[in-house]
Structure formats: C-alpha cells, structure tokens
Structure 1
C-alpha cells in the first residue's frame, strides 16, 4: 500500500499503537518486531480489542480484511510520520545532545506553552519508534512542536532528522556516553552533529518558516557559545547564541547566583541597547550545570516572542521528575536523586557540583555503574573514584561490577548490586547526610530514596 493511501486511513483513525495491550477503539496498530517479540503475532488480538486496522509485514498474519500488508512495519511507521509532518507543516524544534536533552525539551515546552499550543516528546521517547509516534500525535491545532532525538550508534541522528525534518535545532552538548556504540568521543560528536548537517543542507536561512505561528521566524540553530565542541562544527549555520560570558554577541546571557542545593540564576536578553534587564530565576533543579539547559529554553522562548516575565515564570514553576536532578527531604536525610542515567560527563558534573554545594549536613554519595562505555569503562570509572577522593566526600558507596577492580580508598564501600545496598541501609541506616544518588538506570538506585 502506498503511504498516501495509508495516510487517508490514518486521518480517520489517528491514534497509533504498537502495543496489543493498549488498543483504543478505532486505533491503528503497527506490528513492530523486537529481539524477543513479533508484533505480527498479536495483530488479530489488537483487532479484537478495538483497533480499526492492523499494519503487518508478514503475509501469513494478513488474514483479515482489516490487516494492511507492508514490506516493513517500522519503515512504514516512519514514512507515515514524515508524510504527516510534511502535510501539516508545523514548525518543529529538534533537540539532541549527550546530557540534558530531556530536561531542556521539558523546559522549552514549558516556556513555549506560555504562548502557544505545543506538542512535545513525552518522557524520553526519543528513538526510531518514539520519534515517529510523537510526530503522529501532531494536530492542526498545534502551533509548534519540540521533538527530542536520542542516539547510541553512528547514524542514529541522521535517521531521525530525516523523519522529523526540523526547522530549528539545538544540541545541548556532547559528552563521553555510549562509547561502546559510538566507538569514540569523536564518534559522539559526529553523530550528534548530524543534526547540524541536516540544518546546513536545508539552508534557506533568510526565509521565515511557514506554519501556524502568528508570525514567521527564520530557521536557526540555538547554541551554547561556550561549548568548543559545538562551536567547532557550527560553520555555515544561522546561530542564536547563549552563554555565561556576558559577551556582546550572545542573544542571552546568564549567571549563577547560588546553588544550595537548588539552582538560582539570572538571565538577560542582549537586545543591542546595552540596557538589558536581568531576570532572577529561582528554580527547582539541582546543579549549576543546569544553567545551560535553562538558557537554551530562555533563548528559544525569546526567539518566538514569549513574554520575558512568562519565561521566568515557566522556569520557576518547572518541577523535575523521573529521578532527574530531584531534591527530596526525608526524616533523616536530604537527597539529590539523579538516578535515571549516568555517563562520565554527567557524573563528573554532578559530583563537582555536589562537592562545591553549600550543605548544612555531612555529604555522602551512592554512585552506581556507568554503562555502555566499552573498552574505556575501567579507565572512566577509576577517574570517578579519583574525583571522589579529591572532593573529600565523607561517605562513599559504590554500586556495581564496574567498580570492582578499581583502586579505591580504604573507607569507600563497594556493593555488587542495589539489593546489597538495601541490606546495608536496613542494618545501619545513614542519618544526617546530604546524599547524592547517581548511576545508570539499570543499577536501580532509584529504589533507594524510600529507604533513606
């Protein structure tokens, strides 16, 4: 079936599902395949549960007139999403980066929502399935969309930008993550830079983007002007710059006021008049490193004519979730929970911030493994231990097999897994600490706060 024909069906059944356990009445089921499942086997079940049609790619399962046989269900889902995106023509901001992309996406959506009807990626559904499903949620009533794109292998971003075709772009940063998949830090830079490559090839910087906004805005790339890796690959792009140097060429300047533990910062729009108004912004986010995420959202909001006071309101109101830079008080401790993900770049930033943080209590770290680092895993974990030693944290617990063969000070405790940590807490619960909890999601450190 041609995509144009499938699109006609989609316009009448515009709820897409890939899960046979979630089949809203009249929805469109795509029979995707994974390492341990074949969605084709569940097509009949999806139809029974209420789906209007099932898209399959194995002929033996196309035994119902409501089954639509295609060559590849995932390719078809992606093509349908791109067709829908082109049909609506909604202005789209594409966001990627090693660290902070989900937080920046959330902050950007919060800011833009002060003026527009915004569609944005839910959670971190930023892969080759989540991105097309996000685009297929676009409605004519949406003024603008913010789409997050993730990557763990070379070519991942190129594949996604070819579906999203963003009009505006932001790379939050590049760091040492997923090195097993990328092969090297240079591989990370190249892959994230595929977003810039798309924007560069698209060009046409002088023409406003058509769409449902109440004014036209030229295509551009929002960039942290103090990130040398991003600057080095930004040639030929229409740049909107932000940073903390108060340089004249910056669209937005920022400065950290305090971080004890919540980030309080001020920002100003450089409008060329040398009379910039500074907006103090107390936030609910932990970590001075989050200022670049904040400034990115400010820059985007200003570019799309969101009132400056409403931008500040949005950033002040934003509450982190999903174990990302969350602050929790318990009866015995104060917790900084950042247990959704970890890589050498984000771990170093979190530890340095924690070490510098003014804290009334003794400091303790519960640090989990950083995954997918390949051949440099031992080296990177040893660097984290060395940093912890320099910071003179009072109490350090290391969780996971990656730390097993690292050289550690005598007072650092090692645990094979989170279950051993739970037993240690039950036997001798830490009390009176500021505790940083950070590790890759698979270490399950997010299970600890309720015990502390």
Structure 2
C-alpha cells in the first residue's frame, strides 16, 4: 500500500483523524502509536464506529478486507498522502512562520481572505510535522485557497514542512528569541525560519515582506516576485493608531480598529491587509474582517472581569514576545500588576534572558510583579512575589486578591497561567 494507491479511498472520506476518541462515520483513522501505547489495537473499534479506513503500523492488526491497512510508518504515510493531495490541488497556498505572532497573523489573514474566498486554514496550533499534513488533507474541492501555519524548534523543520505544503506565497512574521535551545541561538533561529524564503526563492514563488524589518529586507533584497508593506515606497503603506488599549491601522484616511492589544500586532494587521489588497479585496471588507475578529486563543486577548482589565497572553512566551508585552502593558492607564511565567526552551541563555526580563519589568514600575516558574523564582527579589507553579499561585490568589485595575498574564504554554484566571 502506498499513498497513490490509497488516494482514491481518501477522496471518499469525510475527514482524517489521529484521535480515536473523535472518529466519526466515513473518517480515515491514522493509528499513531506512542512509546507505551499501540494505537493499532483501536483499529477494529474504529471500523465499528464507522471509519472508512484505518492505517496501522503493526501488521498483526491489519485486515485489508475491513480496510485496515499496514504501512511501515503511519507518520510517513500521512505525510506522503498529504504531498500527493497537495500535488492535485490547483489553489494558492500561503505559508506562514516566524518567532512571534504566527497564529494571530494566520487568523487575521483567514478573516480577511474569507471576505472573498472559501479559505481553509490551520486550526488551532496544528503547525508541526503532523498538523501540517492534517491541514493539507482537510482541503476540499470547494476551497479556493489555504493558509498554512508552520512552526519549528530546530533547523530543517520548516524546509520539511515546505515540501509538504508547497506554498505559493510565504510570510515570516519576525525573527525573535524563541526556541533558542533547539535552534542554537538567534542566528540559528534566523537560518531556520529563512528556510521558508529558501523554498519560495527556489520555486519562484511570492514573498510577503515587512520592509520595516531589517532582516526581512536583507533576506529578500533584489528578489521578485514579492509583496511589500511598511516602508514609504512599499506596495502598501499603513499608519498605526491605538484607542483604549486596542491597536488598529489606517489606510487613505480609513480606519480599521481591531480587538487586539499591543502595538506588536500592528504588523500582523498589515500583513493580513496587504494580502487582502493583493487578492482584490477592498478596504471596507478588510476593515470589517479586522473589526469583527475576536481573539479567543489566549493570545493578546483582553478580558473584562469584575471591573478589571485582564490581558490574557498565556499560549506562549519567549524573550522577544515577553519584552513587547511588558512594554505595551506599561502604557495602560491605571494600576498594573504583571503575572509572568517562565520562558521555556531557552537552553544556556535561560538564566540571562529571565534576568533581563525581570530587570525590564522593574524598570517599568509596575505596581506588583508576580512570577511563576523555577527560572524566575531563582532570581526573585524583595520587590516581587514568586511561585514554583500555577497551582501554588492559585492557592495564593484564593486568599489574596490582586487589587490592580489592569492585570497581565504572560508565560510559556508549559506554565499554563490561564488556570489562575478564575481566581483573579
């Protein structure tokens, strides 16, 4: 069994899943096994639930008469099937990566382009070696374009994801201090993220460039085709403004006010608007898309609760995004408390980067600094309160309410700061 042979059966399926709990009628189930679990044991149960076919990597559970097929690697077969499906598609695919803002930018691009087209896009954070092929396989005949988010924590990963998604357009949000441990430092981050540029250049595809970013400028200098924004001579030029802690953009005296906080989101808005213009969408439609997009994914999300303004930005954190969040939050009017969690995957730079963030926080004169995680805890001084984990903070908050009018929660996914939200 290979991907080409299996493809006609795939076209009959309603969906592809790797979660045995979510199997529905006419699905294809890829039985991914872990170190301590053989998912192939669920094969017959999946068929009984209505699955059209099951892919297993354990020959003992294969039964072609019931559409249970053996392959040496379910992961490799999933990727090969996605590549074959991509090769049949005749629609533009926009590839997206970067250190910060990938998911928000993807959501905004989808919101804008959906004003004119039927757009498929990465759901949630399915942006890795499994999530990207799953997203490609979710593209149906009715879709007119797709937006694929690509994440990476080491070099050659974006290169591999590009071979699967084969983007016609690409955008790197920025190059920041994320996953320093895996990439081997900031230069490694730049090299790894630039694998998207390498793919687009070698296949003569279009690059979207923020001309206010010197690295993007340098990496794309002299290349065509590209779409540009940010500079005075760019294809599209927008003005930034903010109102009541929300960021927006203006174009030719027209204003689009988002529900996102943070001036770092301005370039995310610009990227979405630029692609909207490129694909023939007028500004009134772009404005409507931006103003109706409501962040609900713990990224730059404003929550009003009991007379307090909470900034929920707990999905991820690295030194670049943390510094930007703190600086933005310092401009809020009224008393301010920050709850910051450890930044993970920083390797040998971890101590220095956590120390730098604490120094920045102290310089911004917040009314209260609360830290969560072992890295910050080692560095805490008398002017901050530290906890080893979110559970300890939750216990503290049950008895000690934060009095500030504005509260920022920012930390890496592993810290799960959103768990304390109900106690604030």
| TM-score, L = length of structure 1 | 0.90
Counterpart CA distance in 1 for 2:39 and 2:396 is 43
Structure 2 residue matching 1:264: 3-state secondary structure: strand
Unpaired segments ≥5 residues, structure 1: 204-218, 269-276
CA contact (8 A) 1:259 1:287 kept: no
Counterpart in 2 of 1:233?
A: 219
After superposition, the C-alpha distances for 1:199-241 in whole angstroms (9 at most, x for unaligned) are 11101xxxxxxxxxxxxxxx41111111122222224342211
CA contact (8 A) 1:364 1:394 kept: yes
CA contact (8 A) 1:199 1:237 kept: no
Counterpart CA distance in 2 for 1:433 and 1:197 is 47
CA contact (8 A) 1:363 1:435 kept: yes
After superposition, the C-alpha distances for 1:98-147 in whole angstroms (9 at most, x for unaligned) are 11110000000000011111111111111111111111111111111111
Following superposition, the deviation at residue 306 of structure 1 comes to 0.7
Counterpart in 1 of 2:90?
A: 89
Matches within 5 A, 1:318-357: 318-355=293-330, 357=331
Structure 1 residue matching 2:20: 3-state secondary structure: coil
- 2:174 is the alignment partner of 1:187: no
- 2:400 is the alignment partner of 1:399: no
Counterpart CA distance in 2 for 1:444 and 1:429 is 19
RMSD of equivalent CA atoms? 1.4
Matches within 5 A, 1:287-306: 287-306=262-281
Counterpart in 2 of 1:47?
A: 47
- 2:395 is the alignment partner of 1:423: yes
Structure 1 residue matching 2:272: 3-state secondary structure: helix
Counterpart in 2 of 1:255?
A: 239
Change (3 A) 1:52 1:258: closer
Following superposition, the deviation at residue 448 of structure 1 comes to 2.0
Higher helix share: 2
Counterpart in 2 of 1:10?
A: 10
Counterpart CA distance in 2 for 1:448 and 1:167 is 42
Counterpart CA distance in 1 for 2:80 and 2:420 is 42
Change (3 A) 1:409 1:392: farther
Change (3 A) 1:436 1:94: same
Counterpart CA distance in 2 for 1:39 and 1:182 is 32
Counterpart in 2 of 1:169?
A: 170
Structure 2 residue matching 1:153: 3-state secondary structure: coil
Counterpart CA distance in 1 for 2:36 and 2:348 is 27
Following superposition, the deviation at residue 255 of structure 1 comes to 2.2
Following superposition, the deviation at residue 405 of structure 1 comes to 2.1
Counterpart CA distance in 2 for 1:307 and 1:12 is 37
Structure 2 residue matching 1:329: 3-state secondary structure: strand
Following superposition, the deviation at residue 391 of structure 1 comes to 0.6
Work out which of the residue numbers 283, 286, 305 in structure 1 matches 2:258. Answer: 283
Counterpart CA distance in 1 for 2:310 and 2:158 is 35
CA contact (8 A) 1:14 1:136 kept: no
CA contact (8 A) 2:332 2:406 kept: no
Unpaired segments ≥5 residues, structure 2: none
Following superposition, the deviation at residue 43 of structure 1 comes to 1.7
Change (3 A) 1:20 1:358: closer
Moved more, 253-262 or 328-337: 253-262
Counterpart in 2 of 1:103?
A: 104
What is the count of residue pairs matched by the alignment? 422
Moved more, 417-426 or 194-203: 417-426
CA contact (8 A) 2:238 2:270 kept: yes
Moved more, 370-379 or 85-94: 85-94
